[in-house]
């Protein structure tokens, strides 16, 4: 009862993606990738691997679907409320001292964390002098993120997260509900710039005071994680902050010597 798409077959698919479409997944962590690819194979009911591969090679729209489905786009607003509380209490007061604030959300997916950050900035009266760069390798999720439209059904959870993170307002003041969707205020999105950027193959494009990259690096193999940390280091101003997901760490990377962890959350500050 082995999986229909085995390791050798996955190598073929990843080579196809790289050669034909320029997406490099070859250094992604294999166990998760294998699950995602087999999930897609089953979901789209391919009778054989050959047909799966043929479709991928010959149908650019299907390649888009492949990218969208094998990358993980699970995210929520104010995920890990204590983390956001930390941003609020320890990071934003430092950012407030800058005349202009640049934040990079690397691997922003459908944008829930970018909107969470915009809300934090607004409440600290910093939004007007901030710019949030939200990037992802996948243009489809960016398109979604840029609309600021999210399902109504998630708002209860997000509102609870928001309150747990130290939010004092009525969360619903930030959006307008329409049927089963809500649209967040354009004041929030007016300070956001959405752009495709592939952490695997592209280089630094600006200097930031805060880089957020949460639950993206877990999908990469160790060596690729190291390359991305170097990219972040290149893109971070001195005394800037790097924020990772709750189970990710800078500890294994050589750049750690230039950084100091701020408190118990996964927030590091560049000190050299």
Partner 1 sequence: MAQNSLNSTQKIIVIGGSAGSLHVILYILAHLRADLTIPIVIILHRKNDSDSSLSQLMGLRTNLPVKEADDKEAILPGNVYLAPADYHLLIETDKNFSLDDSEKINFSRPSIDVTFQTAAEAYGEGVTAILLSGANSDGVEGLAIIKSLKGTITVQDPKTAQVPYMPQQAIDAMPIDQILTVEQLPVFINNL
Candidate segments 2-10, 55-63, 175-183, 204-212, binder of partner 1 by CB under 8 A: 2-10
Q: Which residue from 116, 215, 235, 253 is in contact with partner 1, where contact means CB under 8 A?
A: 215
Tell me: does residue 222 bind partner 1 (CB under 8 A). yes
Rank residues 192 and 224 by Cβ distance to partner 1 and give the closer one: 224
Helix, strand, coil in percent for the chain, rounding step 5: 50, 20, 30
- Asked if 151 interacts with partner 1 (CB under 8 A), we say no
The residue within the footprint of partner 1, chosen from 145, 210, 213, 217 (CB under 8 A), is: 217
In angstroms, the CA 194 to CA 111 distance is 9
Q: Which of residues 80-139 bind partner 1 (CB under 8 A)?
A: 80
* Residue 144 interacts with partner 1 (CB under 8 A): yes or no: no
Of residues 145 and 244, the one with the C-beta less far from partner 1: 244
Q: Is 225 one of the binding residues for partner 1 (CB under 8 A)? A: yes
> C-beta of 218: minimal distance to partner 1 in Å?
5
# residues contacting partner 1 (CB under 8 A): 27
CA dist 108 and 148 (Å) reads 13
What is the full DSSP assignment across 212-239? EE-SSGGGB-HHHHHHHHHHHHHHEEEE
How far is 59 from 63, CA to CA, in rounded Å? 6
The verdict on 248 binding partner 1 (CB under 8 A) reads yes
How far is 24 from 65, CA to CA, in rounded Å?
15
Q: Is 160 in the site for partner 1 (CB under 8 A)?
A: no
Q: Which is nearer to partner 1, 74 or 99 (CB)?
A: 74
Minimum separation from the CB atom of position 223 to partner 1 (A): 10
Alpha carbons 67 and 6: distance in angstroms, whole number = 18
Residue 8 touches partner 1, criterion: CB under 8 A? no
- CB neighbours of residue 133 within 10 Å: 21
Q: Show contacts with partner 1 in window 13-52 (CB under 8 A).
A: 29-32, 34-36
For residue 190, the tally of other CB atoms under 10 A from its CB is 10
Site string for partner 1, 163-182 (x = CB under 8 A): --------------------
Label residue 41 left, alpha or beta by phi (over 0 means left) and psi (-120 to 50 means alpha). Answer: alpha
Nearest CA to 56 among 102, 15, 111? 15
* Pick from 102, 44, 45, 108: nearest CA to 73: 108
For residue 234, the minimal CB distance to partner 1 (Å) is 22
Which one among 156, 227, 247, 260 touches partner 1, defined by CB under 8 A? 247
In angstroms, the first-to-last Cα distance of the chain is 53
186 sits near partner 1 (criterion: CB under 8 A):
no
Structure tokens at 30: 């294999």
Q: Which stretch binds partner 1 (CB under 8 A): 15-23, 124-132, 182-190, 243-251?
A: 243-251
Q: Which residues of the shown chain bind partner 1 in the complex (CB under 8 A)? A: 1-3, 7, 29-32, 34-36, 72, 74, 80, 215, 217-219, 221-222, 225, 245-249, 252
């Amino acid at each position: 009862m082995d999986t229909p798409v085995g390791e050798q077959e996955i190598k073929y698919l990843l080579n196809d993606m790289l050669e034909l479409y320029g997406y490099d997944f070859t250094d992604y962590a294999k166990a998760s990738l294998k699950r995602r690819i087999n999930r897609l194979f089953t979901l789209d009911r391919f009778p054989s691997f050959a047909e799966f591969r043929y479709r991928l090679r010959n149908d650019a729209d299907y390649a888009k679907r492949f990218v969208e489905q094998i990358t993980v786009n699970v995210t929520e607003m104010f995920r890990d409320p204590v983390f956001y509380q930390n941003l609020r209490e320890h990071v934003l007061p430092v950012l407030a001292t800058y005349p202009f604030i640049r934040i990079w959300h690397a691997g922003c997916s459908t944008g829930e964390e970018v909107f969470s950050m915009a809300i934090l900035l607004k409440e600290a009266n910093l939004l007007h002098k901030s710019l949030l760069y939200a990037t992802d390798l996948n243009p489809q999720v960016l398109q979604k993120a840029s609309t600021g439209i999210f399902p109504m059904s998630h708002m209860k959870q997000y509102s609870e997260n928001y309150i747990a993170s130290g939010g004092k307002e009525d969360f619903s003041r930030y959006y307008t509900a329409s049927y089963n969707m809500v649209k967040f205020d354009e004041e929030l999105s007016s300070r956001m710039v959405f752009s495709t950027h592939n952490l695997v193959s592209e280089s630094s494009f600006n200097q930031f005071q805060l880089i957020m990259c949460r639950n993206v690096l877990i999908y990469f193999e160790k060596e690729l994680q190291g390359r991305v940390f170097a990219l972040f280091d290149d893109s971070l101003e001195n005394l800037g902050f790097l924020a990772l997901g709750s189970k990710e760490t800078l500890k294994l990377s050589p750049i750690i010597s230039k950084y100091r962890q701020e408190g118990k959350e996964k927030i590091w500050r560049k000190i050299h």
